[in-house]
Structure 1
Amino acid sequence: MLRLSFPSRNLSNFSAIAPLTRKLLWKPLLIQRAQTSRYQSTKVINENTTPFTTEELKQSQLERIKGLGPLVSKLPTRLIPYAELMRLEKPVGTWLLYLPCSWAILIAAMQTSAPLLSTVGMLGIFGVGAVIMRGAGCTINDLFDRNLDDKVIRSVQRPIASGRITPKQASVFLAGQTAVGMGILSLLPAQCWWLGLASLPIVFTYPLFKRFTYYPQAALSACFNWGAMLGFPAMGVLDWSTMIPLYCGSFLWCMIYDTIYAHQDKAFDIKAGIKSTALAWGSNTKKISYALATTQFGLLTWAAASSGVMLGPGFIGGLSIFAYRVFSMIKNVNLDSPKDCWRAFTGNIQTGLYFSYALFFDYILRLIGIL
């Protein structure tokens, strides 16, 4: 393996090429660390009991290290497992949690003609909350699934399953995340408190559903899109006729993309006894997803009509792009290819962002009196 190194006494002579050197070095060095101390520190993955070969475990370890990226990899070594526990190196889940929040905030802002500063501030608060609460959800998931994750190659290197964090340490960390989340909730109007607290039972129990039902995606979708309702009282609006269809439309979107996500692991899930809509729907996944998507866009149109934003050019264009991308995703994804399922899943970030941009465009038009 290529590794560049210089005697320490001469490092100052290379200051001019330091940025280039860092770019060349960081990935090879991370891989080297994966092959030495970090791999050897794994406590739970035992070659005599794991269903995977030594080469498969080494490859999964290398992929984990490569996936840390330049930000998480620069954290102190002892903090990296906690960052991984929150999935900070994989922000796709945070984005997908945040996007329905942004739709609710922007629609409510148009209903109330809220000032730009307060709207942007609320979008920021929900953004921080999405990072914290998605991280807490991942911690809960890994605590419950620590005896299942080591049976799926994609999750075998997760911090608890691999022994880099103990369940006790993860529980303490979860308590801290929950406390921070409650602190963020306290910044919102009082109407948000009871609505936010009402989501906690499903947040703390949804990882259990995969053990006894083929529809754990329904439990995930129920809590993952709670922000589609919470954003309204955050902006001083409690409009159930808009909140409910927006929430239900977001729920169905989540059912579609999380089922595609579950198709990545279906071969391992069968062996491990893990249930999912990917297994329940099987070859009918695309047909069912088309039906859900059609209903989803009907619900989003209902929410827009109820809130009075349906005629905005941003909404019309944004919803059209949204629909085109979701239907194209369903049509083109190869459900038997884990890599293609991951590509389709992550593409939903851009899909949802287009809709957020469109709503923000209409909001600006309304602020300046054009709409």
Structure 2
Amino acid sequence: MADTPTTPEPQGQVSDAVKGNWVDHIAPPPSRPYLRLSRADRPIGTWLLLLPCWMGLLLAMLSDGSYGWFDLWIAIGCAIGAFVMRGAGCTWNDITDREIDGRVERTRSRPIPSGQVSTKQAVAWMVAQALIGLAILLTFNSAAILLGVLSLLPVAVYPFAKRFTWWPQVFLGIAFNWGALLAWTAHTGSLGLPAIILYLAGIAWTLFYDTIYAHQDTEDDALIGVKSTARLFADKTPQWLQAFTIATVALLGVAVVLSCLDRSPLSLVVALAGPWAMGWHMQWQMRRLDMDDNHRLMMLFRSNRDTGLIPLLFFAIACFL
């Protein structure tokens, strides 16, 4: 019997990309290495950058009880900005990590270490994406613009964090959840305590999901001396993940209460159901955790898109009660 024909993998495909993604199969071939640099073939990162933005916007709407067409633009602008700024950040990460990535099994197929893109080309692509993000940022109020500019500092520092601290996930959380502060401020015109508490909740959530993610690379990281919470926690990871879950839910609950001080009791109850349901989804991940199964680890990491979408649904409903 003849062998069943198989479809070859697209040339240049990154090893941990989503199978059948649009970049490898639909995007024009010359653009593919650059879109891979931006992780457009791995959309979970864009979601994880965007979701805190939308949480900040909805809690701001809950806080002052107002919403309008400009809020729709804030939501859309944050979505476009999350895509291009995540792309710019990932490009910067790959530029700084080009030597390390070539020595790690999961990352050696990325565009720079695999030779698809030169370092100079990557720098030009990073600048182009950042300029698009700047154009969107300039449509917001001056306080939000200032916050957006300040966000470049943690983005710039993050790729180096794993070289000097066991807690690089904290630096990722600082960078990835900045949108909660920015979106709140874009709506209200100033930064508020609920946004800061939401930001801290997001950092705890990032520690949760990125520790799961980092367990894929613990062996290679140990060989080359790269630090991470996954290596630090080792067999105690489940206990730490439980602590991050509690911190995420508790802090998000406080942010909700502070945002709903002038809302009806029904609105408060519905909004509080968001952190509660989010916590149950994180517990679902905990029950399925297997630190020796990289496929399972990646599946759980990607499931955090749904983790973040769950409270958004409750916040949106609460806004109209």
Q: TM-score, normalised by structure 1?
A: 0.80
Q: Is the 1:317–1:358 Cα contact (8 Å) retained in structure 2?
A: yes
* Equivalent residue, structure 1, for 2:273: 317
2:214 aligns with 262
Q: How far apart are the structure 2 equivalents of 1:257 and 1:317?
A: 21
Query: Any stretches of 5+ residues in structure 2 without a counterpart?
Result: none
C-alpha distance in structure 1 between counterparts of 2:177 and 2:66, whole Å: 23
Q: Secondary structure at the match of 2:127?
A: helix
Which protein has greater RCO, CA pairs closer than 8 Å, 6+ apart?
A: 2
Q: Is 1:223 the counterpart of 2:175 in the alignment?
A: yes
Quick one: which of 25, 49, 63 aligns to 1:111? 63
Report how many residues are paired.
315
CA contact (8 A) 2:23 2:36 kept: no
Equivalent in the alignment of 1:291: 243
Match of 2:230 among 278, 301, 314: 278
Query: Which residue identity does 1:232 align to in structure 2?
Result: W
The reply on whether 1:344 has 2:300 as its aligned counterpart is yes
- Partner SS for 1:202: helix
Match of 2:312 among 337, 356, 364: 356
Instruction: Please show how residues 201-240 of structure 1 align to structure 2 within 5 Å.
Output: 201-240=153-192
Give yes or no for contact 1:73–1:80 (8 Å, CA) kept in 2. no
Could you tell me which runs of 5 or more consecutive residues in structure 1 were left unpaired when the two chains were aligned: 4-26, 39-60, 366-371
Give the distance between the partners of 2:16 and 2:211, measured in 1 at CA: 23
Q: Is the 8 A contact 2:198 2:255 kept in 1?
A: yes
> Which amino acid in the other structure matches residue 318 of structure 2?
D
| Whole-angstrom distance in 2 between the partners of 1:317 and 1:93 | 25
Q: Percent identity?
A: 31
**Alignment match of 1:90 (pick from 30, 39, 42):** 42
Q: CA deviation at 1:2?
A: 6.0
Partner of 1:41: none
| Native 8 Å contact 2:249 2:279 kept in 1 | yes
CA deviations on 1:179-204 (whole Å, 9 max, x unpaired) are 11111110111111111111111101
CA contact (8 A) 1:149 1:158 kept: yes
Give 1:177 deviation, angstroms: 1.1
Q: Quick one: distance in 1 between partners of 2:16 and 2:212?
A: 22
Structure-to-structure mapping, 1:188-207, within 5 angstroms: 188-207=140-159
User: CA 1:321–1:364 in 2, change beyond 3 Å: closer, same or farther?
Assistant: same
Q: Distance in 2 between matches of 1:329 and 1:282?
A: 17
Aligned to 1:67, what secondary structure does the other structure show? coil
The one-letter amino acid of 1:220's match is L
Alignment of 1:123-202 (within 5 A): 123-202=75-154
